[in-house]
Amino acid sequence: MAAGAPSRHLTISVLAALVLLVGAAGLAGCAGEEGGATPTTSLTLPDPAPATDATTTTAATTAEENPLVAPSPAAPVALPPAAPGLAPVVSRVPTTEKVVFMTIDDGMFRDPAIIGKFRELGIPFTMFLTPGYAEEDPEFFRGLQREGGTVQGHTVDHPNLLQLAPDAVRTQVCGTNDTFTRLFGTPQTLFRPPYGNTDADVQRAAASCGHRAVVLWKGSTNGGKLTMQDGPLTPGDIILMHFRDTLGADIDDVTRRVREEGFRIGRLEDWLVGTTP
């Protein structure tokens, strides 16, 4: 009988822990959605209002406490002027804040460990995907969305846009909107041209389908090493990365530089607020 009591106590403790874990997972996985967490949260929470408060508080606290994450800018950042009807081209966000931006292109190599890596880091990043790779494994990219990633456009099938007629350019630039909205639930607001090849036709096409900017870069990673065009990190730098087998090492080198040089990582969409339609 004496042996039964601790065992029962242990069983109840494990069950309680499981209920807490399941509840927490439901809250995290369903942020921004309705309904999914109701059965488990109703066990411990009297009504839906505390659940919303708890989720909001947790997210805000995490952002404030993470030394790698830059807060959103207090005022909108003015983009370089572009001619009427043309989206501006930007490779460095005009700011004096020590903030840089992580962008990851294409989507060819998809290592599930990267999702866990971003979960640990808690940093924002922007994915410029092509729809072919996105369609191959949308759950992978949705997993990254849940860990702080956003999805933006990178053409339908990765051509050199400078070799295409204006109509074909527009098809490439704007033709991913429906697919990505269906797969990821968010409209695109930024565009990255393959190889960084852009001109007025590309800028016009981008503006015509609601992109705030054509996004280039000031440095890139390759084989686990970040190389910046100007040497050290500079406020507002946009960093180009790819979904390659070295992405984990690439992320490590970027975060190492960010820490060593006293920078933080911002969410590109929060800083590039539009001057175009």
| Contact call for residues 276 and 217 (beta carbons, < 8 A) | no
Does 107 interact with Zn ion (rule: CB under 5 A)?
no
> What is the C-alpha end-to-end distance of the chain, expressed in Å?
75
The CB-of-159 to Zn ion minimum distance in angstroms stands at 10
Q: Report the C-alpha gap between 262 and 36 in whole angstroms.
A: 40
Residue 34 exposed, middle or buried by CB count within 10 Å (0-12, 13-18, 19+):
exposed
| 131 near Zn ion (CB under 5 A) | no
Smallest distance from Zn ion to CB 276, Å: 23
For residue 129, state whether it binds Zn ion (rule: CB under 5 A).
no
Which is nearer to Zn ion, 52 or 160 (by Cβ)?
Answer: 160
**Is 147 one of the binding residues for Zn ion (CB under 5 A)?**
no
Give me the residues paired with residue 126 across strands.
103, 150
Q: Which of residues 208-247 bind Zn ion (CB under 5 A)?
A: none
Q: Which of 228, 220, 254, 237 is closest to 90 using CA atoms? A: 237
For Zn ion, the closer CB: 106 or 201:
106
- Please name the residue ranges forming H helices in the chain: 4-29, 38-44, 48-65, 113-121, 131-136, 138-146, 166-174, 177-184, 200-208, 247-260, 268-271
Residue 210 CB, shortest distance to Zn ion, in Å, is 21
Q: How far is CA 209 from CA 20, 27, 176, 199, 204, in A?
A: 45, 34, 10, 16, 9
Q: Which of residues 157-196 bind Zn ion (CB under 5 A)?
A: 194
Rounded to a whole number of angstroms, the minimum distance from the CB of residue 173 to Zn ion is 13
Residue closer to Zn ion, measured from CB, 105 or 253: 105
Whose Cβ is closer to Zn ion: residue 40's or residue 198's?
Answer: 198
CA distance 151 to 81: 25
Our CB check for Zn ion shows the closer of 108 and 249 to be: 108
- Give the range of 18-26, 87-95, 102-110, 232-240 binding Zn ion by CB under 5 A: 102-110
> Contacting Zn ion (CB under 5 A), which of 79, 103, 106, 138?
106
**Cβ 194 to Zn ion, closest distance in Å?**
5
Least Cα distance to 268 among 225, 210, 215, 227 occurs for 215
Count residues near Zn ion (CB under 5 A): 3
Contacts of 66 (CB under 8 A, 6+ apart): 122, 123
Q: How far is the CB of 94 from Zn ion (least distance, A)?
A: 25
Q: Which residues bind Zn ion (CB under 5 A)?
A: 105-106, 194
